[in-house]
């Protein structure tokens, strides 16, 4: 055996004359996954969403914004130790069978391109953050399926039952498992599987020993492996730069939040703008900047930043509420309503969104819709004392004072207002004011005046309370 041949080994049960390669790439990929997992753990934990994003997890909005390294990095990231161990076990088991047939270079192409295809389909078809090597591993399984069908002569006799249709049941079972189990990214599995099958159809296994070009096969393996290694190293380098910039942006945002609590809004705004310049796609930077503009009453700038924040994080109820507030500030209540309705569809259980939508509906004189949203809050939040009480109070006020008399319900208003006051142990003057209004709507003028007097005693400088008290006393005296 010549020097090149010394890089190969033959299995005793293999076909005579065929060369088989050691599983170099499999163990290099395994080591890379373990190293990245350790780094993620040190950075704050592999289950931390911000850590996952900073390390390049697949996420469609950021990928479409130009962060293309998210095609590569997800196959080296894992969410928790169990996820890592499961995928690495699959990698070693399948890599042990396929890599010897293809060699480290061709196997690397199959693995990495399958992983990239899985990430691409995941980001295009799913709106969730995802990570894991399973797309690439499904690619290996797909390659084993096609290799066994198209090149059965390349497969050692003892491995016949794990190639071709032999692995089909495993593939189908895992796809079915991914379909029925929550939090499994089956889009990545499907993308990797299809890519691996196509690549195995295009790229044949390593050549026979007696082939005219077989002596050059190790050289071709290096030719295949080097571009793959370059792509991975570039993606990791870009990710490292992104990670450090995100960390600096986070420190600036923390300082901005501190300035905001100290009422130094201008300084807080400057720090948030600086953070955004460092990390233009940072979701929190757009959100914080939008909030600061909203606080300053600069509604056009707030809309710009909050829309960008929602583009990167479309499932943020808080972002939707603030964007709706910004549109309200611009006088565009219709747009505010549309944003909140869309947010309610995405997160139907979010109480803040329901509350904001109810308030917008009141301003738009859509009283039945407002009553419906307040009632929905009462149905969803019986254990949330604060939210439940606020919803009861707001619904009571609407039922007592609705501009359209068709939707007034004085009796229901008293029931809700009294319940809200009792829940807060008569310590919320605004709620007591609502109770007074409900009693007045029921023509219980004396009780209304007495309730309003309690609210006024708690806030003697409240001019609205005093006007209401005078009105209720006059009505009681007549």
Residues near 244 by beta carbon (within 8 Å), at least 6 away in sequence:
none
Answer for the pair 44, 55: CB distance below 8 angstroms, yes or no: no
Tell me what the mean pLDDT of segment 419-436 comes to.
94
Q: Is 10 a catalytic residue?
A: no
Residues near 436 by beta carbon (within 8 Å), at least 6 away in sequence:
448, 449, 451, 452, 455, 468, 472
- Give the DSSP letter of residue 206: P
Catalytic-labelled residue, pool 134, 256, 291, 389: 134
Q: What's residue 21's pLDDT?
A: 65
Q: What's residue 95's pLDDT?
A: 95
User: pLDDT grade, residue 18 (50/70/90)?
Assistant: low
pLDDT above 50 (res 208): no
For CA atoms 326, 332, 337, 343, the dihedral sign is negative
For 447-478, the pLDDT digits (tens) are 999 999 999 999 999 999 999 999 999 999 88
pLDDT above 90 (res 8): no
For 209-220, the pLDDT digits (tens) are 434 344 456 667
Please state the separation of Cα 21 from the chain's center in Å. Answer: 41
User: How many C-beta neighbours within 10 Å does residue 190 have?
Assistant: 21
User: Using CA atoms, how far apart are residues 322 and 44, in angstroms rounded to an integer?
Assistant: 29
Tell me what the mean pLDDT of segment 211-238 comes to.
79
For the chain, the first-to-last Cα distance in angstroms comes to 116
Catalytic-labelled residue, pool 189, 281, 286, 373: 189
Q: What's residue 429's pLDDT?
A: 95
pLDDT above 70 (res 2): no
For CA atoms 149, 151, 153, 159, the dihedral sign is negative
Q: What's residue 277's pLDDT?
A: 95
Query: Phi and psi at residue 18, in whole multiples of 5°?
Result: -105, 135
Q: Is 119 a catalytic residue?
A: no
Task: List the domains of the chain with CATH numbers.
Answer: 5-241 (1.20.1540.10), 409-478 (1.25.40.10)
Q: What's residue 183's pLDDT?
A: 82
pLDDT above 60 (res 10): no
For 137-187, the pLDDT digits (tens) are 999 999 999 999 999 888 888 888 899 888 998 999 989 988 888 888 899
Give me the helix-helix angle, 299-312 and 317-329, nearest 10°.
160
Which residues partner with 249 through β-bridges? none
Among 104, 114, 119, smallest CA distance to 136 is for: 114
Helix (H, G, I), strand (E, B) or coil at 298: coil
Give me the helix-helix angle, 429-441 and 410-423, nearest 10°.
160
Comparing 163-172, 216-225, 417-426, the range with the smallest average pLDDT is: 216-225
Comparing 32-46, 162-176, 275-289, the range with the smallest average pLDDT is: 162-176
Q: What's residue 207's pLDDT?
A: 53
User: Using CA atoms, how far apart are residues 319 and 300, in angstroms rounded to an integer?
Assistant: 15
For 106-126, the pLDDT digits (tens) are 999 999 999 999 999 999 998
Tell me what the mean pLDDT of segment 375-384 comes to.
82
- HEC string of 231-276 equals HHHHHHHHHHHHHHHHHHHHHHHHHHHHHHHCCCHHHHHHHHHHHH
For 294-337, the pLDDT digits (tens) are 999 999 999 999 999 999 998 889 999 999 999 999 999 999 99
């Amino acid at each position: 055996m010549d020097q090149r041949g010394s890089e190969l080994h033959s299995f005793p049960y293999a076909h005579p004359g065929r060369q088989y390669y050691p599983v170099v790439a499999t163990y290099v990929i395994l080591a890379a996954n373990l190293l990245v997992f350790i780094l993620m753990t040190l950075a704050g934990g592999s289950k931390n969403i911000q850590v996952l994003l900073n390390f390049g997890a697949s996420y469609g909005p950021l990928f479409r914004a130009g962060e293309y390294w998210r095609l590569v990095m997800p196959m080296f990231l894992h969410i928790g130790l169990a996820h890592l161990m499961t995928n690495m076990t699959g990698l070693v088991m399948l890599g042990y069978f396929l890599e010897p047939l293809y060699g480290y270079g061709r196997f690397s192409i199959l693995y990495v391109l399958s992983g990239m295809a899985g990430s691409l389909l995941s980001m295009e078809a799913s709106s969730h953050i995802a990570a894991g090597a399973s797309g690439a591993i499904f690619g290996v399984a797909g390659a084993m399926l096609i290799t066994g069908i198209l090149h059965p002569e390349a497969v050692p006799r003892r491995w016949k039952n794990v190639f071709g249709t032999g692995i089909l049941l495993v593939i189908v079972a895992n796809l079915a498992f991914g379909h029925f189990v929550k939090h499994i990214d089956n889009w990545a599995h499907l993308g990797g599987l299809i890519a691996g099958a196509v690549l195995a159809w295009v790229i044949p296994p390593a050549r026979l020993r007696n082939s005219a070009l077989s002596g050059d096969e190790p050289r071709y393996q290096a030719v295949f492996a080097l571009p793959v290694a370059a792509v991975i190293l570039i993606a990791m380098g870009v990710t490292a730069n992104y990670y450090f910039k995100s960390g600096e942006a986070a420190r600036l945002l923390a300082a901005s939040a501190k300035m905001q609590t100290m009422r130094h809004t201008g300084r807080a705004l400057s720090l948030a703008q600086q953070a955004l310049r460092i990390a233009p796609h940072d979701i929190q930077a757009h959100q914080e900047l939008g909030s600061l503009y909203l606080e300053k009453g600069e509604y056009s700038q707030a809309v710009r930043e909050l829309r960008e924040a929602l583009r990167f994080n479309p499932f943020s109820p808080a972002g939707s509420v603030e964007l709706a507030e910004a549109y309200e500030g611009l006088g565009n209540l219709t747009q505010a309503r549309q944003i909140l309705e869309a947010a309610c569809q995405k997160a139907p259980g979010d109480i803040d969104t329901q509350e904001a939508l109810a308030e917008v509906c009141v301003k738009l004189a859509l009283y039945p819709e407002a009553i419906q949203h307040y009632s929905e809050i009462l149905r969803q939040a019986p254990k949330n004392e604060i939210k439940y009480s606020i919803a009861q109070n707001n619904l009571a006020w609407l039922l007592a004072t609705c501009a359209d008399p068709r939707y007034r319900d004085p009796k229901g208003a008293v029931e809700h207002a009294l319940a809200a006051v009792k829940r807060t142990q008569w310590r919320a003057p605004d709620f007591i004011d609502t109770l007074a209004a409900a009693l007045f709507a029921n023509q219980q003028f004396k009780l209304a005046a007495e309730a309003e007097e309690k609210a006024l005693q708690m806030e003697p400088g409240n001019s609205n309370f005093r006007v209401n008290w005078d009105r209720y006393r006059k009505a009681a005296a007549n």
